[in-house]
Structure 1
């Protein structure tokens, strides 16, 4: 199948017809349908399918007589954020299959295996930890902690894995699989407006993380409880949201509160608890840490007069990732001097870079919008991305 045909097959899965946004959360029916599509495309090309113990999927091209070590791995993810765009994740996987097709059409015989990976729960939309599949594979998260993660309905990660036919006691680092990978190259839609050419190469991922603020007060009646008697957690939560913007401006970072959970959530009830999630990113670790510390202090100061308690928990954090310079420079040369740019978005490539040389290709996004329905890439740029990925894979697989 061509790139266009594969893209058309994926496009309707998990899409909200009213908003155009996508809900493809890990191991929900839309994401499972995407997984089935991946397996069909792998088998259509006679690629060898492999499932690791963490729910990640791989499709391997093993040319005759080529050792199975030193593989060139590419790919991305199939899950989405709530109401996300079509390109974030799937573009890298569709492009990988199309690049393999292009290499075969050109009569390329790799001297190293080529693999396509589909990593689980990259967005963290269901269980709260981004890049969960690659973190487990690389040993970047404690398996016991991962098993205990829960979704919004109270289902644990262990329970969901078990229901999907995966042994939750077997999750964790896979040194044997990683030993077979010589390098990883991920193609992704660019998630801003920094890229002005059809294709670019990533230099680094800036530090970023997620923190959970839990405010506990006292539930009560909205009409009969006087203002002096209230222990309303919504007030210090609101102060925390404003403090996040102010701290980001002071420290040259970005900070976002995009998710909130209110209990009991009634219009005529004072909340008993409010939980808000803070996403903070910036050019340096100390700037991000300082931003979070200032938000935490502001939340506690705001909570005291309302007799509300505040608990802060770090759910995930990734320090700056400076992609492998040799791999990056080789890709730039292969592509005739492609532009190089950093990104504020996290990716599986950033997690895997701690274990294998990793790099990224970006495809231009004319709207600059991501994690929303307006995320886009022109068809010609997508095909340019396929051609660039094929050129990079060909070069690396001949080494």
Structure 2
């Protein structure tokens, strides 16, 4: 089979489910577009000889059974849902690349020693309802049904009602699978690193930890014309000092530390009043827990120091504190060797700055992840794209990885 042609045909077919006139896809959990996509995916799995199975919530697998170790499963896939007005590769490429790789392996080598499975996870994005990783959390029986019973989408549709309308229900079988020997997820990078370094493959060694804050500063609102500079308690000025100092410090520490001030709300937010209050967000990420913790101390210490100097009250709410997730060392080496074989030096070992289903899987089964470049780093956008040559290289590296894991003793 021709990998490029097969992938392009499948990508065109599945992009039609929720496809938008301006390009891209909107395919939200349990929507009609989502149901059409998973129904077609089940049909496609069967057409190439895979045994299919839905679980209670809508996760779908297609299995090519092993001849010698059928109870040892090598799993590969990603999520089928998208963000609103998203691209055609985020999630979908991970499923279709696994499908094409397994189909190619089957045609070239026959049945594997260990079972190969393609996985389509019901949901990862949290785009329709305020809940993310519904698919992977249910895969490991981590989801608490109470967390979704009363939530609604933007149209007021209840989560449970939407789930039932799509033909699915809460998980009834609480047994967690113990047959998975490896999970490998293919994904687009959603960043500019690979493209900027002219690399075709990213071998992911871990997913960064994240700390997120909401910070509130309270000073004194006052007249912009009659309040001398030395007598002001200006919270925007304090915020700007905090942002500048911490950004400079993050640049000094260097990659892969990233720091973002993404949401700033001054009060009263008008031209002729010194702002007496400001609320802002901080997002900080790193692959090393020690460095992340140390920088968190600097964040909080800097806020305290600048506010005390400015006689401004402050409140720091650290509402997210996710640890980094490391990929399995052995599997990372397998992927790296596959990349060397298929693309030579055109690969880079790197962390993922975004969250993925692999961070859930890695806590329970040996997990690896790989990236292909994103043009201009664009993702979660109808203009999301990757050169077809890089997509094919990604599938070839995944195929080589799955061959090593499923066909070799």
Change in 2 beyond 3 A, CA 1:126/1:295: farther
Q: How does 1:99-118 map to 2 (within 5 A)?
A: 99-118=101-120
Alignment of structure 1 residues 66-215 onto 2, 5 Å: 66-168=68-170, 170=171, 174-175=175-176, 177=177, 179-195=178-194, 196-208=198-210
Aligned counterparts of 2:382 and 2:240: Cα–Cα separation in 1: 24
* CA deviation profile, 1:135-178 (whole Å, cap 9, x unmatched): 2322444333244443233434333222222232x368541x2x
Q: Of 321, 333, 336, which residue of structure 1 is paired with 2:337? A: 333
Q: What is the Cα-based RMSD across aligned positions, in Å? A: 4.0
Matched, 1:7 2:11: yes
Within the alignment, does 1:24 sit opposite 2:27 as a pair? Answer: yes
SS at match of 2:38: helix
| Distance (Å, rounded) in 2 between the aligned partners of 1:291 and 1:142 | 35
1:242 positional shift: 11
TM-aligned CA deviation for residue 183 of structure 1: 0.6
TM-score, with structure 1 as normaliser: 0.75
Quote the residue 1:36 is aligned against. 39
Change (3 A) 1:396 1:363: same
Residue correspondence of structure 1 range 285-300 to structure 2 within 5 A: 285-286=292-293
Contact 1:77 1:119 in 2 (8 A): yes
Contact 2:15-2:24 at 8 Å conserved across structures:
no
What does 1:252-271 correspond to in 2, within 5 Å? Answer: 253-255=258-260, 257=262
Q: What's the CA shift string for 1:53-85, capped at 9, x where partnerless?
A: 33211111114x444322000001111122222
Alignment deviations for residues 309-332 of structure 1 (CA, whole Å, 9 cap, x no partner): x99795x76420110001101221
1:378 maps to 2:387 = yes
1:352 aligns with 2:358: no
Kept in 2, the 8 Å contact 1:54–1:137? The answer is: no
Shift of 1:42: 0.6
Moved more, 245-254 or 20-29: 245-254
Are the aligned partners of 1:245 and 1:256 in contact in 2 as well (CA < 8 Å)?
Answer: no
Shift in alpha-carbon separation, 1:291–1:372, aligned structure 2, 3 A:
farther
Deviations 1:234-286 (A, max 9, x none): xx9xx9999889866666533365899xxxxxxxxxxxxxx999865444443
What does 1:275-294 correspond to in 2, within 5 Å? 281-283=285-287, 284=289, 285-286=292-293
In structure 1, what is the equivalent of residue 402 of structure 2? 393
**Aligned 8 A contact 1:75 1:116 in 2:** yes
Partner residue of 1:224? none
SS in 2 for 1:68: strand
> Is the Cα–Cα contact under 8 Å of residues 240 and 295 in structure 1 kept in the other structure?
no
* Residues 65, 111 of structure 2: 8 Å contact kept: no
Name structure 1 gaps, 5 residues minimum.
215-226, 228-235, 261-274, 298-304
Show structure 2 runs of 5+ residues with no match.
217-222, 224-234, 251-256, 266-278, 305-311
Indicate the residue corresponding to 2:228 in structure 1: none
Deviation at 1:391, TM superposition (A): 0.8
Quick one: distance in 2 between partners of 1:74 and 1:381? 19
**Quick one: which of 49, 53, 57 aligns to 1:54?**
57
Q: Which moved more, 1:179-188 or 1:7-16?
A: 7-16
Deviation at 1:350, TM superposition (A): 1.3
